[in-house]
Amino acid sequence: MNIENSLLATITANKKYLPKIKIIGLGGAGGNIINKIIAQNLFANDIDIISINTDLQSLENNDAPRKIAIGKNAYYGAGGSAKTGKQAAIESQEAIKDAIKDADLLFIIAGMGGGTGTGASAVIANLAKELNILTISTVTIPFLSEGRSQKAEIGIQSILETSDSVIVIDNEKSVQQNTRNNQRSNSHNLFFEAADNAIIETIKDICSIIYNSEEMNIDFADMKSTIQDSGIGFIGTGKGHGKNPILNAIKEASKSNILQKESLEGANSIILNFSLPEDVLVETINPALEYLNKFTHGAEIKFGLHHTTENFVKVVIIASDFINVKNDQNLDSIERYSEELEAWVPKTISQDTTDIPAIILKKQAIQNAKNTFQKLNK
């Protein structure tokens, strides 16, 4: 499908173009989340939900309306081997292509560290890229105690190469977040629940931007240009009450640390979607945008909004295209400079030192250093 043409068509029809969204749950962890999504009946029927696995038995127990078993010998699963998972996806690529080809936006949900999720997700993301489908991979990385960390890192690296954006949900972090919010939830299952919910929320939030920005529109093209080829992304949501609800919401969203990317700092492009109560003035968004602009050191910001009947402001932030704020060369010169000052600036402030012009103290120190250096070289 040619998106630009369809956008044109929708403009002439003066009606918002709704892109086709598909969600793939990959492997055991992905399949579990798909089951939850279906059980909660979260998404309208026009979003396609697909489960993909190498394990037939597990697929049989899945509630997705569309299921694809991958691999020639699909039956027993990938046995924890990412290589087998990858091979299986390559063998079944025609079936996968067929299932996703009419999508504009594809979510891939997978757990990193096992066989199918780790191995197959990069292959699927690659197929999507070939079909010009915007792809957001939402992956969980396992607990350190599960001992699968290195494999998970490799898995993430390979998806990063192909997926437009990778949203990494760290189980350890979601546990921290979860225990902070609710002291009583200490069972292992609840920990996984937190990570799963984070993925579901993330997808829901992105979909809501596409479906809900009625009054000021973020169109899909905006979203695509922000997310495409952007690497590890940040997504956060926040609710804001009080005197400065918009700002409070943004602050909360920028601190939601369930994702591996901790801060918005250094983001080059940001999409925001506001849900505003009727009594919150649209004008008050401006200072909040300035705040974000300063905080990120000048990100390009696009936003949409709609009104709600709730009594608080909700904001969804998607940020991407991060640059490394502190580059190493810069840091080096800062360190060198501070060592230089350390060498000559008097450590105590006294009449004696303030009476002598600072430049004389500085030059003396430089001269002394030179003398010592010469002595050492003799």
Residues that bind another protein (CB under 8 A): 181, 241-244, 247-248, 251, 287-288, 290-291, 294-295, 297, 326, 331, 333-334, 337-338, 341, 345-346, 349, 354, 357-362
- Closest listed residue to residue 220, CA positions, set 203, 207, 236: 207
Q: Which is nearer to another protein, 307 or 362 (CB)?
A: 362
- Minimum CB–partner distance for residue 345 and another protein (Å): 5
Q: How far is the CB of 356 from another protein (least distance, A)?
A: 8
| Closest separation in Å from C-beta 15 to another protein | 37
Q: CB of 180: closest distance to another protein in angstroms?
A: 8
Nearer to another protein, 65 or 242 (CB): 242
Shortest separation between residue 177's beta carbon and another protein, angstroms: 12
Shortest gap between Cβ of 250 and another protein (angstroms)? 10
Least Cα distance to 11 among 219, 249, 173 occurs for: 219
Of the pair 100, 280, the CB lying nearest another protein is at 280
